[in-house]
Amino acid sequence: MVKETKRMTEQQLVLFDLASEHYAIDSMNVREIIRMQVITKIPGAPASVEGVINLRGKVTPVMDLRKRLGLVVGQESKETRIVVVEVEGQDVGLIVDGVSEVLRIPVSVIEPTSTIVAAEEADYILGVAKLETKLVILLDIGRLLAAGEKRTSLGAETTRDRAGAGTAVS
C-alpha cells in the first residue's frame, strides 16, 4: 500500500534534450536508450519517420522527435541517442539530442499547460515540471504518436501496399 501511494505522489521520468529545451517521458514507456545507429530510409514514410533500424533482430521504426514536434532539425552529435519506447505493444525509436537523467519527481511540481501555451494540436503535452534548475516539458508518448502516424511509421500501410503491388505482375 505504501509503494502504491508513493507511485501516486511521484513520477519516474526519463529526461532528454531537444533544441536546447528539456523534455521528459514516463520511464514506464521506455524500453531502452541506445547510441545512434545507421538508419535505413523507408520511401513514402511520414517526414518525421527517419526509417528503420535492426534492433537485436527486430526491425524497429525510428522517428526524429525534433521533426515530430516541429522544431529545427539539428546536427547529430556524440550525445545523440535513440530512446526506444513501447506504444500499444510496438517498439518505436525516438531520436533525441541527448538523455540527461532518469529522475523521480513529486507530482506536485507538475503544472498543467495553459490553454494559451498548448493548442489542441499539442494535446501530447501533459504539463511542465518545475525543477530546481530548469523547466521540463512532459510528453504523453501515446498521444505524441497519433494513431494514423503509428500505423504508417510501423509499416502497416507499407506492408499492405507492397502486398497489393506485388500481385499485378504480368
Grade residue 120 by pLDDT with cuts at 50, 70 and 90. Answer: low
Task: Quote the pTM value.
Answer: 0.79
Q: What is the pLDDT of residues 63-108, one digit of tens each?
A: 999 999 889 988 899 999 999 999 888 999 999 999 999 999 999 9
Cell representation of residue 130 = 518545475
Buried b (16+ CB within 10 A) or exposed e, 22-49: bbbbbeebbeebeebeebeebeebeebb
Can you give the pLDDT at residue 9?
A: 87
pLDDT of residue 160: 35
Q: Where are the alpha helices (DSSP H) in 64-146?
A: 65-68, 141-144
Average pLDDT over residues 17-36: 95
Q: Is the pLDDT of residue 159 over 60?
A: no
Average pLDDT over residues 150-170: 39
What DSSP state is assigned to residue 40? B
Q: Report which of residues 27 and 117 the model is more confident about.
A: 27
Q: Which three cell numbers stand for residue 17?
A: 534534450
Instruction: Provide the mean pLDDT of the chain.
Output: 81
pLDDT over threshold 60, residue 167: no
Query: Half-sphere exposure (CA, 13 Å, Cβ side) for 23?
Result: 24
